Amino acid sequence: MSSLEGEKSGAASVHDENPVMAHTEKSGAAHGHAATDQYGQPLVEFDKAAESKLRLKIDFMVIPTVALLYLFCFIDRANIGNARLAGLERDLKMTGVYDYNQLLSIFYISYILAELPSGVLCKWMGPGWFIPLLTVLFGISSLGTGFVTTLPQACGVRFLLGAFESGMMPGISFYLSRWYRRSELAFRLSLFMVMAPLAGAFGGLLASAILTLDHVGGVREWRMIFVVEGIITIGLGLVAFITMTDRPETARWLTAEEKELAIARVKSERVGQSEVVDKFGGKKAWLGFWNPVVLATAWIFLLNNITVQGLAFFLPTIVAGIYPEASTVTKQLYTVPPYIVGAFFTLLLPGLSWITDRRQIFLILSAPLVMTGYIMFLASENGKVRYAATFLLASSCTSVGPLANAQVAVQVISDSSRAISLATNMMFGNTGGLISTWSYIKWDGPNYPIGNGLNLASASAILVFSTLTLLWMNYDNKKRELRDVDQELEGLSPEEIENLEWKHPAWRWKP
């Protein structure tokens, strides 16, 4: 069951007789004690078979709920593109050149403004309460969109939708960081973030199915999309209040021994920390934001979101331009296949990250296919060529989400810093989403050279900045090898050592 955190510790005692953990000279996994020595080396060794069994159990008990919630989070965000094809602009009398772009932009304004406060609230309330609450609230907002009659009303509802959805991706990422090791995290993040491209596919199919109905209650046409999907989202959020477990310590489906292992193995990677779920502190929060690799990764995520969010909102419009004579339902169905390919790559690259315990190299490798796709858009007006290009766009740009969130999560040490680093990444990322809403303007269609050129520049910049970040991490790690850990930590209290965060002399960047 979910549980408010307050000041409860997420660390459990470790007993010497525990068969799943073999101890070195001194157990460091007990409550209130560091699980690493001052050089960052774990004080506990773990039984690999027991870890594997526990990890699989966590996978089955934790991932499905958050994945389903995120699926409808993204559907409720991106269904505006499907509604546009079904007559939203006509019924709301959106005759201005920029009306649709304004409707998209308002979502990101509230999303960006609410991001950091959402990170603080998630840490304070605990993700087991915070994530279901957000789901109910953005479900209500989506439902309300089905009853708007003017553009200002639609903008008001989308503003609320952005504020409530802002905490979902960083909140779920933060939640999973309490359960998984550094090497495991990117792939587990991909297991819920894959719902973004699948939402493009499933959302298109669901919208097509809904539009075959004559009416739902008193609403018709595009309004039915928001009403049906909003009701489903609210129901899922209410169920999640019951099914989500806030952290290993409160998991009823774990034995006492499994709880100890779950806590100790995560704690063993946190240099100088005595708790997995620490009390929120301002200094740690600041260092979660003011972190060179977090800020560099957030900038990369901003550039990536120009492409990802642009694809989500404008793929239906692009398809309509390529196949102008097709029916509305057929156009919806044409948006599905590129997202299926995107879903495959969203799992592939983070899966390789799990095997190699590397993330930065895969951020670098995500750019070339996206660059190729936009070059095809700019070089050809042939419908088949441009539709083929959408597969290249979806293939690797969607994998950056789990990779970037995993990267900012592992470049900090404490739970408090992680809540802020993830919120920072999403704040930057959705600034890219705001830019994307102005990437494709009506008068730039049907070929959209400005939008495609901007996205090509963004993908190229990702290649450059992610490479430079990797080089800097390796350079700074070499400098850190020359630091005298004993001398720098001499005279510091345990609390002062914990507050050092990534400035701890034994810390190394994790490329």
DSSP string, 394-425: HHHHTTHHHHHHHHHHHT--SHHHHHHHHHHH
Distance CA 145, CA 225 (A): 9
What CATH code is carried by the domain that includes residue 173? 1.20.1250.20
pLDDT in tens, 287-340: 999 999 999 999 999 999 998 866 765 677 677 777 777 876 777 678 788 888
Angle 185-402-435 from CA coordinates, rounded to 5°:
155
Q: Could you read off the pLDDT of 82-101 as tens digits, one per residue?
A: 888 788 999 999 988 889 88
Cα 373 to the center of its chain, rounded Å: 24
Q: How confident is the model at residue 5 (pLDDT cuts 50, 70, 90)?
A: very low
pLDDT confidence of residue 221: 83
**Does any domain span residue 73?**
yes
Least confident of 153-162, 171-180, 208-217, 428-437: 208-217
Of the ranges 22-36, 253-267, 339-353, which one carries the lowest mean pLDDT score? Answer: 22-36
Number of domains in the chain: 1
Answer whether residue 362 is part of any domain. Answer: yes
The whole-number average pLDDT for the span 225-233 is 92
C-beta of residue 102 within 8 angstroms of C-beta of residue 442: no
How many secondary structure helices (H) and strands (E) does the chain include? Answer: 22, 2
Whether 445 shows a pLDDT value over 90: the answer reads no
Q: How far apart are CA 370 and CA 393, in angstroms?
A: 5
Asked, for residue 15, whether it belongs to a domain, the answer is no
Report the alpha-carbon distance of residue 398 to residue 395 in Å, rounded: 7
- The one-letter code for the residue type at 173 is S
Task: Please report which helix (H) or strand (E) contains residue 137, including its range.
Answer: helix 127-145
16 within domain boundaries: no
Examine residue 511 and say whether the peptide bond preceding it is cis (omega within 30 degrees of 0). no
* Percentage above 70 pLDDT, the chain: 89
Is position 9 within any domain? no
Q: How confident is the model at residue 428 (pLDDT cuts 50, 70, 90)?
A: very high
Q: Which residues pair with 46 in a beta bridge?
A: 21
Residue 280 pLDDT grade (very low, low, confident, very high; cuts 50, 70, 90):
confident
- Asked whether residue 12 is domain-assigned, the answer is no
102 lies in which domain range?
21-503
Q: Is 190 left (phi over 0), alpha (psi -120 to 50) or beta?
A: alpha
Q: Is the pLDDT of residue 21 over 80?
A: no
Average pLDDT for 274-278: 72
- Higher pLDDT: 493 or 78? It is 493
- Flag whether 446 is in a domain: yes
Q: Is residue 288 part of a domain?
A: yes
If pLDDT is split at 50, 70 and 90, which confidence band does 28 have? very low
pLDDT for 61 beyond 80: yes
What is each CA distance from 28 to 8, 347, 443, in whole angstroms?
19, 35, 63
How far apart are the C-alpha atoms of 202 and 343, rounded to whole Å?
11
Which two three-digit tokens encode residue 52?
């594997």
Please state the pTM of the whole predicted model. Answer: 0.82
The average confidence (pLDDT) of the chain is 85
**Banded pLDDT at 4 (limits 50, 70, 90):** very low
For position 313, what pLDDT does the model report? 59
User: Taking residues 222-250, what's their average pLDDT?
Assistant: 92
Distance between CA atoms of residues 186 and 361, nearest Å: 13
User: Is the pLDDT reported for residue 15 higher than 70?
Assistant: no
When pLDDT is cut at 50, 70 and 90, the band that residue 34 belongs to is low
Q: Which of the residue ranges 155-164, 276-285, 477-486 would you say has the lowest mean pLDDT?
A: 276-285
Q: Which of 203-212, 380-389, 428-437 has the highest mean pLDDT?
A: 428-437
Q: Has residue 31 got a pLDDT over 90?
A: no
